[in-house]
Structure 1
Amino acid sequence: MTEHTRRQFLSASAGLVVAVTLPLPGRAQSGAAAILGQDAPTQGDFAPNAFIRVAPDDTVTVLIKHIEFGQGPYTGLSTLVAEEMDADWSQMRAEAAPANAELYANLFFGMQGTGGSTAMANSYMQMRKAGAAARAMLVAAAADEWGVPAGEIEVAQGVVRHGASDRSARFGELAERAAGMTVPEDPPLKDPGQFKLIGTEVQKLDTKPKSTGQATFTLDVYREGMETVVVRHPPFFGGRVANFDAAPAMAVPGVVAVHEIPSGIAVYATSTAAALKGRDALDVEWDDTEAETRSSEEMLQAFSEATAAETLVAEEAGDVDAALEGAEQVIETEFRFPYLAHAPLETLDAVIEMRDGVAELWMGSQFPSLDKPTLAQTLGIDPSNVIINVMFAGGSFGRRAQPDAHLAAEIAAIAKAAGRNGSWKLLWTREDDLHGGYYRPMTVHRMRGGIDAEGNIVGWTDVLANQSIMAGGPMEAMMDKGLDPTAYEGATKMPYDLVNFRTSWARMESPVPVLWWRSVGHTHTGYATEVFLDMLLEAAGKDPVQGRLDLLRADAGRDRAVLERVAAMAGWDGQRVKGDRGYGIALHESFNTYVAQIAEVSNDNGMPRVHRVWCAVDCGVAVNPGVIRAQMEGGIGYGLTALLYSQITLLPGGRIAENNFDDYRMLRINEMPAVEVEILDTDHDPSGVGEPGTPPIGPAVGNAWRALTGQTVTRLPFTVGVQS
């Protein structure tokens, strides 16, 4: 999320309170169970606010407002509650909060949703205050029961104790009495020096159920009489159904219905195998009148030409044209980036059940505040009759964060077309996923840099061309003067003291739907800016580490700190090549998290083999260092996949070439480098770690490859670029 977008979200949510509490009658029945009308808390449960439930058996359940798809909010947000409650970690539990924007809004978005690496950042104070309020009420209950001053009571590891009278009680024993205590409006929080759990590697709450198969994903949901549905989508973007014959599909044993819906043709069956076989049997004629029929090569050429035309200026300073005109040396290059699919392990799926005008959904909903009204509108029912159960999801990387809520719309259309009570499971196959669009935008950067006789960078321009993610949907209102900051974020507000520079953007149009992909605009701007900077420093005869340090602005202290730390970690001595290994560095801030990486690379038959990566990260207060390291490692692996192998290719006519993981290549386990992560100890508020590990790895490897081979790879992935 760009700073501009972040400010817009903050402005929109200015009226939200920090610690949301339920109305008095609801305190004993807060959370998902009460709102869903299922598995209601037992008598004696203590629910001081919308986030916490304490049961008589001493378990503390935290309602997590952010979807858990592997990035750690169940553990991280529960840690905040446990810290302020002084609970024992063994008694902590977590479950997904239901769709309820009033109670569970992302404080940066003003709606319920997960994205932009904001889960920890927006919840840090909110969840701590929720925990502190619960603790205060438990203490008040003990003081009332024992007739002692609350100030004399201590809490540790889930036990409330009055030392002078040698009395103690567990949380569960005080739960019923605590429910009658007054909720404190602004409970005091711990000083960081008192933290016992924050900053430690407590065991993740979702590891055991996921490892043992106990965790329930959408695919595991089965309802009585449920039918499986797959959809035949147009084979090119913008295409429509012209005619179809359902008879061959209906002849397949197990197929019970075929209906045309807005997104294609839905095949309903009693089993997955029957649904897929029936879909294959459909006889369909497609209308490509409004479809994207250009190939990737044709589109890249058009994007390249757009960077030479008039564009919207996103950021500028000085007189860059004059500076480049007077430069001793001018370097110009063009970087090309393909469409990318997110390709999470769990493809899109959802289950819907209709019961007399009430719709209940089971889905890995990343933005319930968008999915719920879409379901209601598509089905023609009141939003109060829509229930969303937010499920574990097997990854997302942005794929489930859909501004148009198209998956919710598709399964609602399936239920509507059936026209009766019942339940249906919608499945997307891997081929559906890779052909389905909502890709990381194809992008072209045209860059020019000028160097004077002393080797100083005197001018810098970056012209980008790509599609807008925010335009045409609910996020368009946050665009400023026609600019979509997610298109070029990372190419603006750089930490370097470039006196004369300009970043501008050409908005391209295509029926190919685009979406945020892990780290959004930073995925390409990080590569383009850091590789180009390395090229300029090399041309000036400067060390890539010291050259960056010398360029950093005076106010870029956090950038400087991670850059110096990673150089120390790798033992940087200025040698870019040692034996058969090349070394490259990159520095990039995204989502208010600062990351520097150094990669060690060899030449493996014309392709980089990445052996080691050193990574320094400043994400503010490190709530769980283990989760942070895991996210940096995962982001590096994900970024390497895209750098080396991944691309979505439109063939002439608009069809997609890639079908599955055999031709949309993933990084293999034996290709994953050894990764060393160090987390800087800072007192800044925590920021996100789900995305910031991805942007620097590409340029770090690209710079190491150029040091080793002399080749600057300007077209990704490397499987294409090293041969360009």
Structure 2
Amino acid sequence: MSQGLLDAQNGKPLDAEAARFTRRTFLQFSASAAAMAGGALILGFSLPARSQGDARKSVIGGDGVETPQAGVLEANAFVQIDKSGQVTLIVPKVEMGQGVYTSIPMLIAEELEVPLASVTVDHAPPNEKLFSDPLLGGQLTGGSTSIRYAWEPMRRAGATARVLLVGAAALQWGVDPASCHAENGAVIHADSGRRAAYGDLIEAAAKLPVPQNVKLKDPKDFRIIGTAFKRLDSPEKVDGSALFGFDVRLPDMVYAAIVNCPVFGGTVASVDATHANKIPGVRRVVQFDNGVAVIGDHTWAAKRGAAALKVVWNEGAGAAVSTQTISRDLAAASQRAGAVARKDGDVNRAFGAAKSRVDAVYEQPFLAHATMEPINCTVHVRPDGCDIWVGTQVPTRAVDAGVKVTGLKAEQITVHNHLLGGGFGRRLEVDAITQALKVGKQLSVPVKVMWTREEDIQHDMYRPCYYDRISAGLDANGKPLAWQHRIVGSSILARFAPGAVKNGVDPDAVEVAASLPYDLPNQLVDYVRQEPNAVPTAFWRGVGPTRGTFVVESFIDELAAHAKADPVQYRRDLLGKSPRALQVLNVAAQAAGWGGGALPKGRGRGVSVMNAFGSFFSMVAEVTVERGEVKIDRVVCAVDCGMVVNPNTVEAQVQGGVIFAITAALYSEITIERGRVQQSNFTDYRILRFHEAPPIDVHIVKSGEAPGGIGEPGTAAAMPAIANAIFAATGKRLYRLPVGNQLQTV
């Protein structure tokens, strides 16, 4: 996801006034922000966000419990404290493995002065007005923004609740609030030894005026933030009680196996369901625009029925699309000038003064998400309403899909959001939800629509393939005087948030490439939009930074080799104006033993530096190449992501991102022939195996800056480090991914 600020309603960038939101912006509390509901203190707060969507009826999770006072409090989130002292936090972000259901409660617990174990979490209902993320302009989870979004608002909510509770106790005791303090879920008056539990104070606290601009803790006083806590959701995921979309079970529910048109953009011409209808357990066969669903009493019946179908397809123009035609079109598009994303100095003049010039072309393939939980969605469409059970990164867009397909009103659509078995951007899309609704409209009972792994991979929304032309003019010492970078590829934002594309520039496509940490006095970065005919593209664990960092850091490494300079020192010499980037580079290089002596033949180290998602990364990969096979021996990463909430989460996210990157760099590629994806399962869309995963050392650089993102940067920084290590080991420069059989002669 791009880091740009977008209006949730029209995808346009926020105006100057709205865009002044920062992590330090004070919350706007209303007089009614504290209230009693069902014997609990409800604390609401609002952010200066632009989105003004209507409140929508919903439930929290899949258990049918309605949101406390939903649509009544003008809040961005709710903190609820009941009479037992239990704190319930309604989190606007979804949990898909990144740990936000632990880290965000830590923010509340820190300022509220309660043990983390006292905080429970519920999914937020779809409501743009209450739960919009100002960093993204909507209620969605992506762009590594969850902690950046929550950092100050959640702490301030906890601090405000604490001040109210302290004030209530002081009023009851007739003492100065300054003589009281909160500790471990209670208010204590040290002079008299009196103590009152939070649960005993909620009625009195709800009657007090809400304080404005409460003081937050000094970081030196943090006791929870910055401490390594185990994931709160791990026990449920281990014992199987955690509920994902695939776990939904409803009375009278039937199961649907999907057969999508194998060709992009194709539709159904005719269906022969004779054999399918004879299979025991098959109820019926339903058709929609680009596919067929077999409805069964259970999964096996539906799947067997789907295999027995005989479908004739209208393949359409998509049947002419192939990887070769797409690559040809990208190469041709790279010959024309693009929309300017960055222009500094006089590039043409600098090239004229250069002593040498280096040119390169980089290519990167389509990539599937291949989440461990394949696509699924359960719906129950009725004349008077519709329920949707799904794991989604965009709950309000799920409601919008319901409105569009069923014709019902938004308030008649109920979304039951679940834990996500992997997202990576795939569940930012509602194509599968829309499809499930089209099937559900034709039935009178709940239906669980499931995609097989084959359907999931062959009908994904893919990370775009890209084609980059990049050139540098160097002085006599090999330092860059001129830098020109042309990016050619699909624009995801043109579809997802069209207002974000300004003057022809997709800010996600040029991210990193147009904001390098290096001192480059003359540079020109432009973007040429070239859509792959019929192939749907989407976000994939940091699209712009992922593709951009591979190109830039591979090319910087090539310039170092051209200058016969050490790759780390070459970067150091260009990072004088970016001290945070320089620091992570130094930490990573030292931890990896860079410069500690030559490695054996066939082994090499590679390095990368990156600034994206508000964080700074440097990564060193060490590899062995033998008979054309690459083994990743070790990865060392230095991370400056600002103030750290949970070091365990940071380490886990970096490690997961690196493994994701190794998979992509070595193996992953979606290829197309006659409009059909050729890969179908993990047999030919290979995922890194357990025994192939290297040791990954994560070094967190202490920082007093506001938090940056952590979910996606590790993936982006790892790919070029691996490619550069392969060059160090073999002398072969990689200009395209995956590595595949490019090293067979090495």
- Fold-level match, TM-score > 0.5? yes
Deviation of residue 631 (structure 1)? 0.6
1:89-111 Cα offsets, whole Å, 9 max, x none, are 22122121111222211122232
CA contact (8 A) 1:93 1:205 kept: no
Residue 562 of structure 2 is matched in structure 1 by: 539
| Residues 133, 149 of structure 2: 8 Å contact kept | yes
In the alignment, structure 1 residue 706 sits paired with structure 2 residue 706 = no
1:204-215 alignment runs, 5 A limit: 204-215=231-242
- Find the partner of 1:453 among 476, 481, 488: 476
Q: Match for 2:709 among 673, 676, 688? A: 688
Q: Cα offset for 1:309?
A: 2.6
Aligned partners of 2:3 and 2:136 also within 8 Å: no
Could you tell me which residue of structure 2 aligns to residue 394 of structure 1? 421
1:105 aligns with 2:132: yes
Which of 709, 719, 723 lines up with 2:740 in the alignment? 719
Relative distance call for 1:5 and 1:220 in structure 2 (3 A) is: same
Q: Deviations over 1:475-526 (max 9, x none)?
A: 0111001221212212111111222222222211221000010111122211
Q: Does 1:18 align with 2:27?
A: yes
Partner of 1:68: 95
In the alignment, what sits opposite 1:659?
A: 680
CA distance, structure 2, for counterparts of residue 386 and residue 496 of structure 1: 50
Does 1:668 find its partner at 2:693? no
- Of 376, 383, 390, 2:410 maps to 383
- Contact 2:97-2:421 within 8 A present in 1 as well: yes
1:144-159 matched pairs, under 5 angstroms:
144-159=171-186
| Contact 1:36–1:387 under 8 Å retained in 2 | no
Note the C-alpha offset of 1:449: 2.1
The superposition leaves residues 191-249 of structure 1 with CA deviations (integer Å, 9 ceiling, x where unpaired) of 21211111111222111111111111111111100111122111011111122223332
1:415 lines up with 2:440 in the alignment: yes
Q: Secondary structure at the match of 1:559?
A: helix
- Does the 8 Å CA contact 2:635/2:696 hold for their aligned counterparts? yes
CA displacement, residues 163-191 of structure 1 (integer Å, 9 cap, x when unaligned): 22222122223334433333334322112
Stretches of structure 1 that go unaligned for 5 or more consecutive residues are none
What's the counterpart of residue 549 of structure 1? 572
Structure 1 residue 562 and structure 2 residue 584: aligned?
yes
Mapped partners of 1:19, 1:42: distance in 2? 20
The residue type equivalent to 1:502 in the other structure is L
Match of 2:495 in 1: 472
Match of 1:520 among 538, 543, 557: 543
- 1:372 corresponds to: 399
Task: Give unpaired runs (5+ residues) of structure 2.
Answer: 45-57
1:374-403 deviation line (CA, Å, top 9, x unaligned): 21121111101111122101111111112x
Q: CA deviation at 1:41?
A: 9.2
Query: What letter corresponds to residue 611 of structure 1 in structure 2?
Result: D
Residues 18 and 433 of structure 1: CA distance in aligned 2, closer, same or farther (over 3 Å): farther
Distance 2:733 2:413 in 1: 53
Q: Which amino acid aligns with 2:354?
A: A
Code of the aligned partner of 1:136: V
CA–CA separation in structure 2 for the residues paired with 1:586 and 1:532? 11
Distance 2:204 2:284 in 1: 56
- Tell me the equivalent position of 1:493: 515
Report the 3-state secondary structure (helix = DSSP H, G, I; strand = E; otherwise coil) of the residue aligned with 1:66: coil
Deviation sequence 1:87-144 (CA, Å, 0-9, x none): 0122122121111222211122232111111111111111111111211222223223
- 1:153-192 pair list within 5 angstroms: 153-192=180-219
Task: Single out whichever of 23-32 and 615-624 deviates more from structure 2.
Answer: 23-32
Q: 2:593 aligns with which of 571, 575, 578?
A: 571
Letter aligned with residue 460 of structure 2: G
- Equivalences for residues 2-151 of structure 1 within 5 A: 2=2, 4-5=4-5, 11=15, 18=27, 27-28=37-38, 38-39=64-65, 50-151=77-178
Name the residue aligned to 1:425. 448
Deviating more after overlay: 95-104 vs 76-85: 95-104
Cα drift, residue 36 of structure 1: 9.0
Q: Which residue of 1 aligns with 2:48?
A: none
| Structure 1 position 14, deviation (Å) | 5.5
Count of residue correspondences? 714
Which residue of the other structure, out of 613, 632, 643, is the alignment partner of 1:591? 613
Cα distance, 1:407 vs. partner?
Answer: 2.3
- 2:165, 2:439 → 1: CA distance? 48
Take 1:110 and 1:294, find their aligned partners in 2: how far apart are those partners? Answer: 35
Q: 309, 313, 326: which one pairs with 1:282?
A: 309
Identity of aligned residues (%): 35
Pair 1:406-2:426 in alignment? no
How far apart are the structure 1 equivalents of 2:59 and 2:534? 41
Residue 176 and residue 578 in structure 1: after superposition, are their counterparts in 2 closer, same or farther (change >3 A)? farther
Aligned with 2:374 (options 347, 355, 367): 347
Q: Which residue of 1 aligns with 2:340?
A: 313
Checking the alignment, whether the CA contact within 8 Å between 1:334 and 1:445 is kept in structure 2 is: yes
Q: Tell me if structure 2 keeps the 8 A contact 1:582–1:707.
A: yes
How far apart, CA to CA, are the structure 2 residues paired with 1:485 and 1:391?
31
> Aligned partners of 2:212, 2:167: CA distance in 1, in Å?
14
The 3-state SS of whatever aligns with 2:163 is helix
Distance 2:595 2:702 in 1: 25
Cα RMSD after superposing both structures: 2.5
Give 1:450's aligned amino acid.
G
Aligned mates of 1:708, 1:34 — CA distance in 2: 53
Structure 1 residue 355: Cα displacement: 4.9
- Write the distance in 2 (CA, Å) between the matches of 1:195 and 1:610: 38
SS of the equivalent of 1:444 reads strand
User: TM-score, length-normalised on structure 2?
Assistant: 0.91
Shift in Å at residue 690 of structure 1?
0.3
Tell me: CA distance 1:334–1:37, structure 2 relative to 1, closer, same or farther (3 Å). Answer: closer
- Residue deviations 1:430-480 (CA, integer Å, cap 9, x gap): 11110013101011112222223332222222222211111234x011100
Q: Is 1:220 equivalent to 2:242 in the alignment?
A: no
* Cα distance in 2 for residues equivalent to 1:305 and 1:122: 41
Find the counterpart in structure 1 of residue 54 from structure 2: none
Deviation per CA, 1:663-686: give whole Å up to 9, x if none: 111111111111111111111111
Alignment CA distance shift 1:34-1:66 (3 Å): closer
Tell me if structure 2 keeps the 8 A contact 1:107–1:123: no
| Aligned partner letter, 1:278 | G
Contact 1:42 1:55 in 2 (8 A): no
Instruction: Tell me which residue corresponds to 2:55.
Output: none
Q: Summarize the Cα distance change of 1:637–1:541 in structure 2 as closer, same or farther, 3 Å threshold.
A: same
One-letter code of the match for 1:664? Answer: Y
Q: Match of 2:493, SS?
A: coil
Judge conservation of contact 1:141–1:178 (CA < 8 Å) in 2.
Answer: yes
Aligned to 2:629: 607
Aligned to 2:645: 623
* Counterpart Cα distance in 1 of 2:492 and 2:335: 22
Retained in 1: the 8 A contact 2:61–2:416?
Answer: no
